[in-house]
Structure 1
């Protein structure tokens, strides 16, 4: 692909995946994985705490618990540590072959010896940034499938189209649908027009609607950034511009 006037052209050769021969009932029994109850599955153990000292204490407590309850398998404990404990900032992980190996590592962790475990401090999770590009990524058929399948996106696109309509000599959704239909008979996927006063308002509507869809799924940006006319979409999504003001601005700008 080529993004705007620059980019990298790449080609990929794809073939059908290998289809393994169906196994017989006998081979399925032989190849079946070990029962989790036997403790023969090798699984990672995870320990975490809010400080390094607390991590050492936690490892010591876990070792004592393991010695007190010999009926617990290594696999059961690994499963519980991974699924029932909150992950604190200071973390250690190791993969013991059996209970004895687990006790050896836990005892070492309790003494401050971290050689046999992967120990690190988790970084705060970074929040996403919404990036709004300029002109050049448009294609015939864009947004139509999403409009028909995602009600949140459809409502947002309708609102954008209504805000743009007083400033345009065409309607956004009929244009997108006509492009999608025409693309069926064209060898390429470019829009049928290179009119800037058409392409830019359409891209604005699609970008703002995509942001609404992400937000509906719980993805809130920590920041927004835009390039060229994408700056207007970014300002709108950030609340710096109202939808009506942003629509008027992008329409007027596209005619300059």
Structure 2
């Protein structure tokens, strides 16, 4: 499937592998089908490219997928200014390996936001999607960057605040093995 998706993306049919001698059980002369013996340009017109991929499993499971080239995406419009979620409260989620490191991270984030002034929604998005999730965690809630940095500073200084909740997460997960029943185990 991946090979054919990439072939559609590049508009090129790759040669058929391991088929140096065509089968004598197929009428190759009629022109209904042909063996691709060398890389070939796939583009003939503006119609979307289509292909079929078959897979035959060792246990008798067969699959057949028909793929069609996706339409061209329009040029993206300029990104809108990030907005606060409905209700206006934005979470900033932090995690660290130790309580002291969590307080340090809160202090450093508050200083960075104060100096660089990024949009609060961008900060929240980055904290949840681009940071490791570790055992010690805290979440600061606020509607403005000022509220959030004040809450982080209070947490970093060890002061109690209603805008920050902290705790630890259980990290004692266990490994799970899944056997699909197709003989691979």
TM-score (norm 1): 0.36
| Structure with more of its chain in helix, by fraction | 1
TM-score (norm 2): 0.48
| Structure with more of its chain in strand, by fraction | 2
